[in-house]
Homo-oligomer: A and B are copies of this chain.
């Protein structure tokens, strides 16, 4: 038999549905005897409360919705892990949706989540997203939304992201302090904020040290391993080798290594590589790699914590959240990258 409901229990015991409801939730105006009879029967007939029926009254669903471009990007897998962690601790269930980088799927996902009346929304927007109508709709619905990693400015929603520019600046500054001057940058696309910011950080650092920016030290492309290989070969055609390569991410770094192997260039002895990464394998592949480690898990946790604040989650204020108390809706948090201190150039 399918799942029994309170009315059926009430029928068997010849009491009212109200009594059963109260007995099941241990109200103090129900006799112990009645409570026991109700509970025994509930147990016996495998009663399972109906989550959404209750929520119909309370106007809260204790669920939050997530929209990510793709879960097989390990970055988002880790971020979701962090979100789940914080959500579980606060008693929220998570509804996960994936946009596959398509703006229209993203739109539909958000709409579904709104219609499910999630208590809050955590969104990393797709690369394709241009139309922001759906976000206006969210705004009007008054369901809190926090962007994580990939955000849209100017809509009045908070965002939690990595401070790429600052991290890149610090990384390059470190390289300069270590005595290296010729630093190539294999950038990602500057059409994407991550690429733009990391490049800006690189330029900040050089400027600060009074080193002239050389366009022929920088190449743009995509963020894949193949792009890294292409990038290195292109820079290499232009002239002599650098001291260090700054790769915009770990995939690009791998590609640079590929190119160096092909060209017979010894690394890290001859050329050092530094890169952004969130994944341990970058260091496994090349123990010689210096990385800015960004922690997607932390990012997810922070995003969820900020969302809890926006949802007026009881306890979100009382707990010792490490989110500055003054963060209001529409303001954002930037998480710093963590530099691993080493450059293994033997020369």
The size class of the interface chain A forms with chain B is 35 or more
Taking the closest CB of chain B, its distance from the CB of A307, in whole angstroms, is: 16
* Chain B binder among A9-17, A92-100, A196-204, A263-271: A92-100
Residues of B within 8 A of A46 (CB): 137, 140-141
Query: Are B284 and A141 closer than 8 Å at their CB atoms?
Result: no
Query: Are B281 and A111 closer than 8 Å at their CB atoms?
Result: no
Q: Does A88 contact B (CB under 8 A)?
A: yes
- Mask for A46-79, Cβ within 8 A of B = 1, else 0? 1011111101100001010000001110100110
Q: Does A115 contact B (CB under 8 A)?
A: yes
Partner of A281, one of B53, B97, B142, B284: B284
Query: Are B48 and A141 closer than 8 Å at their CB atoms?
Result: yes
Partner of A96, one of B53, B96, B254, B285: B96
Q: Does A3 contact B (CB under 8 A)?
A: yes
Q: Does A297 contact B (CB under 8 A)?
A: yes
Taking the closest CB of chain B, its distance from the CB of A122, in whole angstroms, is: 13
Q: Does A183 contact B (CB under 8 A)?
A: no
Q: What are 17 residue pairs bridging A and B, where the CB atoms are less than 8 Å apart in the complex?
A: A2-B142, A46-B140, A48-B114, A48-B137, A49-B115, A50-B115, A51-B112, A51-B115, A51-B116, A71-B77, A84-B96, A88-B105, A93-B95, A94-B95, A94-B97, A95-B96, A284-B285
